[in-house]
Amino acid sequence: MKIAVAGKGGSGKTTISGTIARSLARKGHPVLALDCDTNPMLGVSLGVGPEETDLLVAARQALDAGDLEHETSPDGIIETFGTSAPDEVRLVVVSRIDRANPGCP
């Protein structure tokens, strides 16, 4: 099952995403949470902690910077870029904008 959460700013996307992820994980489902927000805060909602969430490496950013080799498999991407969150949720941050320029979404 794949669940995508989208909506207008401040409508509760991150909160509901974290709640769904942890609820499913507590019921025994393997959960991969992908944070696709350019200001990724899902780690906070998942219980990773604010400081730790700030430090998470974003996959796209790391690859663009040449810090890491491209992974060829989904499992490799999850292993390399993922972090373990409470309730055994696996979190992958997809992208992050460090410094927003004018016109940046």
Q: How far is the CB of 42 from ligand ATP (least distance, A)?
A: 8
Residue number with the shortest CB distance to Mg ion?
A: 14
The least distance separating Mg ion from the CB of residue 1, rounded to whole angstroms, comes to 21
Q: Toward ligand ATP, which CB reaches closer, 11 or 84?
A: 11
Instruction: Please report, as residue ranges, which positions from 33 to 92 form the binding site for ligand ATP (by CB under 6 A).
Output: 37
Task: Identify what 80 binds: ligand ATP, Mg ion, none; CB under 5 to 8 Å per kind.
Answer: none
Task: Confirm or reject binding of residue 10 to ligand ATP (CB under 6 A).
Answer: yes
Torsion-angle region of 95 (φ positive above 0: left; ψ -120 to 50: alpha; else: beta): beta
13 part of the interface to ligand ATP, by CB under 6 A? yes
30 binds ligand ATP (CB under 6 A): no
First CA to last CA distance, the chain: 29
Residues near ligand ATP, by CB under 6 A: 7, 9-15, 37
